[in-house]
Structure formats: structure tokens, C-alpha cells
Amino acid sequence: MPIILFAIGFYILIKGAQILIRGASSMARIFGLSPWFVGIAIVGIGTSIPELSINLASVWNGQGIGLSTIIGSNTFNILAILGLSALFSPIMTRDSWVKDIWFNLLAITIASIFIIFPILGETSFSGITQIEGFVLLALFSVWMFILLRRPEETESREEEIFTVLVSNMMILGGIVGVFIGGRWVVQGAEFIASALGVSEALIGLSIVAIGTSLPELTVSLTAALKREPAIALGNVVGSNIFDFLGILGLTSILRPISVTSDFRFDIFAALGAGLLLILAVYFNKRHEVTRKEGVLFVLSYVLYLIIVLSRG
């Protein structure tokens, strides 16, 4: 039964996220928001709702799978999703987008420092304290405020727009779906880890992390095929910023997140992925992720996954 709930939970999780994204994107279009804002904020945050539900359910059940899901998901987002998207179509960027790519690296760095070093709160506590959670959430709020006030070029995109009532109903239904699915996924993951004799961290870094990133993968690959870099790149960058600042901030406020030393390699892997994205975009004259860099991203993720699985 736990395995069945795990599979059904994942399905509800992904479908709920898709419905939520369509509703939120429709609302954004009704109010005339730019493609980059839709990609980085609406779709980026929307595709991270599964990770949010996993973390809240993890806190509720007193498990540690939530943090491993965030770290594994973000590494997968940058290396696997952007890498595969670039293989289909090189991802062109604009100068204004590079600011958010830098902020993505800053978000990962600050969250990683809080995770590794006892900065604010109890010096004997290894992880993210409630005070640090408030700092992360405050940084996320500042970023959203700046993003809303930033002027952005508009582009015409063919996208289904619903009425305000239908859009809100889709958003509400999607939220309910992802939270129910999230609870079932966490319960199923705990059972699978116990049955296989492996750690919850391994399940979180691999199966759950990749599974919860399926919405990002679907959105970015579709956008890349349609030659819509604002959605393909913005989806991943927005998702990562929301994960490290919004989700970890909110979760640690509800309950401090304790971390073991085993996570240090994975934290540095997430940092390395963020740095690799900066090198690929910022130091490229055309500010793009090329097909060759896409191959490098994908191979880097395969290597990381092999190391994770070999640790057991």
C-alpha cells in the first residue's frame, strides 16, 4: 500500500502542479505580466510546489527527506534540465536576466552557509535555525519585490487564457492536489528506504528529487522546443531561488532543519552547478547555454548521480 500511495501521490503531485501552473500563468497573462516574470516567478515557483509540499510533509512527519529533495532537485534542475534543453535548442539570454542568474547563485550560497556553519541561533545546532529561516524568507521577499518593479520587455506568446474565476479554481485545486500528493510521496519514500535498507537522504537526492523536478523538466523542454528561452531558463532559475530561500526559509521557521555532515558533498555539488551556469552564461559573449555546454551539464549530472548512488 505505501508503494501504491507513493506512485499515486507522484501522479497527483505532477498533475496538481501542472493545473496550478496553467491557472497561475493565465492570471499573469490577464494582468499583462512579461514572459520572463511568468517564467521565473509564476512557472518557476509553481513547478516548485511539489518540493514545498514534500518539505512541509517532511516537517509534519518528523523526517529529513525534505532537505535532500531540495538539494537533489536543484542540482538536477541546472545540470540535467538545462543541459537537455540546450541540446534541443541553445538557450539565449538577455542582459537583464543575468542578474537573476547571479541571484540564483547567491541564494544557494547563503542557504549553504547557513546549513554548514552555525551563523544565527544556537552555535551547537548544525542546520538552518528559525532565525536563519526568517533571513532566507526576507531575502526571497526582497527579490520578488525587485522583480515586480523591474521593467521588462514584452513578447507575444500563444498561451491559453482562462477567466479569472476558472484560473483561481485551477490554482486552488492544484494546491490541494500537490499537498495531498506530497504527503503520500513522503510516506512512500520512507517505506521504500526502509525496505531497500538505504538512507532517506539517498531516496530524497535521487528518486524524489528527480520526480518532483518532472514539472520543471516538462516545462523547460517544451519551452526549448518552442524557442522560448524566457520560460526554459526562467523556470529553472525561479524554481531554485524559491527552493533555497522560500521553501527552506518557511520550513525552518516552522521547525529548524537539522543537517548531518553527509550532506556537505551534495551542498557543494549544488553550489558547483550554480557556478557552472554562471560560467556558461556570463562569460559567453552571446550570453547563452550552447549545445556543447548542454552536453557538459548532462555528463556532470550523470557523474554526480553515480557518486550519490555509490554512497548508498
The predicted-structure confidence for 2-58, as pLDDT tens digits, reads as follows: 778 778 877 887 777 677 767 777 777 777 776 667 777 777 777 777 777 777 777
Which stretches of the chain score pLDDT less than 70?
A: 17, 21, 34-36, 59-65, 121-125, 151-160, 178-179, 182-183, 186, 190, 200-201, 261, 285, 312
Task: Name the residue with cell 496538481.
Answer: 16
What residues does 92 pair with on adjacent strands? 288
CATH of domain 2-311: 1.20.1420.30
pTM: 0.76
Neighbours of 170 (CB within 10 A): 22
| Dihedral over Cα of 7, 8, 13, 14: its sign | positive
Phi-psi region of 125 (alpha: psi -120 to 50; beta: other; left: phi over 0): beta
Q: Identify the helix (H) or strand (E) that includes residue 288.
A: strand 288-289
Give the number of C-alpha atoms closer than 13 A to the C-alpha of residue 133, restricted to the C-beta side: 16
Q: Estimate to the nearest angstrom the gap between the alpha carbon of 55 and the chain centroid.
A: 12
- Read off the amino acid at residue 136: L
Using DSSP bridges, classify how beta strands 257-258 and 127-128 pair: parallel, antiparallel or unpaired: antiparallel
